[in-house]
Amino acid sequence: MKKKLINVDIKRFILTVYLAFVGFHSQEAFPQAQPAVRCKPASQTVIEPRKKAADLNGLVIPSQFFKETCNGGVVVSVETKKTDAGTFYVDVIGIIRPVDPDAPNIEWEMLLPMLWNGRSLQLGGGANNGSIPNVLGASAFGSVIPIDAGYVVYGDDSGHQSDSGMDASFASNEESLNNYIRLHLIKAHDAMRYVVNHFYGQEPVFNYFAGCSTGGREALECATTYGKYYDGIFCAQPASNYVLARLWGAILSQAVYKSYDPDSYPHSDGYIDEETVRGIQQDALSLYDKWDGIEDGMVCNIFAAKRNRDNFLNIIRNKYHLTDAQMATIDIYANGFSLDYAMKNGMKTYKGCSALEGGMMDLGPSEVPREPLDTRYNVHHGDRADGIFKYFFAKDPTWKLIAHDYFHPDEKLYRMLMDASARYDANSPDFDDFIAHGGKLILFSGWMDMSMSPWQLIEQYKGYVDKYGQEKTDAFCKFYIMPDATHGRGVKMDYLDWLDRWCSTGQYPQEILYATMLKTQGQMPMAEYPGWVKYTGGDPALGTSYRIVRQENE
Q: pLDDT by residue (tens digit) across 502-521?
A: 999 999 999 999 999 999 99
Is residue 404 part of the annotated active site? The answer reads: no
Q: pLDDT by residue (tens digit) across 428-441?
A: 999 999 999 999 99
- 3-state SS assignment for residue 324: helix
Q: pLDDT by residue (tens digit) across 403-453?
A: 999 999 999 999 999 999 999 999 999 999 999 999 999 999 999 999 999
Query: Quick one: pLDDT at residue 37?
Result: 57
Question: Residue 520: which residues within 8 A CB-CB, separation 6 or more?
Answer: 296, 297, 298, 540, 541
- 3-state SS assignment for residue 516: strand
Query: Quick one: pLDDT at residue 413?
Result: 98
- 3-state SS assignment for residue 522: strand
Give the chain's count of helices (H) and strands (E).
15, 17
Query: Quick one: pLDDT at residue 39?
Result: 86
For CATH 3.40.50.1820, list the domain ranges present in the chain: 32-240+426-510
Say if CB 271 and CB 256 are below 8 A apart. yes
Instruction: Kindly give the residue spans of alpha helices, DSSP state H, lying in 232-323.
Output: 242-257, 274-288, 302-307, 309-320
Catalytic residue, chosen from 449, 484, 494, 500, is 449
Domain 32-240+426-510 annotated CATH 3.40.50.1820: yes
Quick one: how far is CA 261 from the chain centroid?
37
Query: Quick one: pLDDT at residue 345?
Result: 87
Q: At what angle do helices 411-424 and 242-257 cross, to 10 degrees?
A: 130
**Cis peptide leading into residue 372 (ω within 30°):** yes
Pairing of the two strands 440-446 and 119-123: unpaired
Say if CB 272 and CB 363 are below 8 A apart. yes
Catalytic residue, chosen from 184, 380, 437, 487, is 487
Q: Binning pLDDT at 50, 70 and 90, where does residue 552 land?
A: low
Strand order across the beta sheet in which 119-123 lies: 60-61, 73-82, 88-96, 106-113, 152-156, 119-123, 206-212, 232-236, 440-446, 477-482
Q: How far apart are CA 258 and CA 405, in angstroms?
A: 11
Name the residue among 137, 144, 229 with its Cα closest to residue 191.
Answer: 229
CA distances from 425 to 80, 182, 210, 218, 398 (A): 40, 11, 19, 11, 24
Q: pLDDT by residue (tens digit) across 10-55?
A: 433 433 333 344 333 333 333 333 444 578 999 999 999 999 999 9
Say if CB 373 and CB 383 are below 8 A apart. yes
Say if CB 99 and CB 105 are below 8 A apart. no
Say if CB 168 and CB 388 are below 8 A apart. yes
Q: pLDDT by residue (tens digit) across 464-476?
A: 999 999 999 999 9
Share of the chain above pLDDT 90, in %: 91
Is residue 487 part of the annotated active site? The answer reads: yes
CA distances from 333 to 340, 381, 417 (A): 19, 10, 21
Question: Residue 445: which residues within 8 A CB-CB, separation 6 or more?
Answer: 236, 237, 452, 454, 457, 480, 481, 482, 485
Catalytic residue, chosen from 120, 162, 213, 421, is 213
According to DSSP, residue 307 is labeled H
Q: How far apart are CA 479 and CA 444, in angstroms?
A: 6
The shares of helix, strand and coil residues in the chain, as percent rounded to the nearest 5, are: 40, 15, 45
Q: How far apart are CA 152 and CA 129, in angstroms?
A: 21
Q: How far apart are CA 34 and CA 116, in angstroms?
A: 24
Q: pLDDT by residue (tens digit) across 244-274?
A: 999 999 999 999 999 999 999 999 999 999 9
The reported pTM is 0.92
Q: pLDDT by residue (tens digit) across 219-246?
A: 999 999 999 999 999 999 999 999 999 9
Q: pLDDT by residue (tens digit) across 288-298?
A: 999 999 999 99
Is residue 269 part of the annotated active site? The answer reads: no
Q: Binning pLDDT at 50, 70 and 90, where does residue 340 land?
A: very high
Q: 309 pLDDT exceeds 50?
A: yes
Q: How far apart are CA 358 and CA 523, in angstroms?
A: 20
Q: 498 pLDDT exceeds 80?
A: yes
SS3 of 480-510: the string is EEECCCECCECEEECHHHHHHHHHHHCCCCC
Total Cβ atoms within 10 A of residue 547:
15
Average confidence (pLDDT) over 73-89: 98
Name the residue among 482, 490, 489 with its Cα closest to residue 442.
Answer: 482
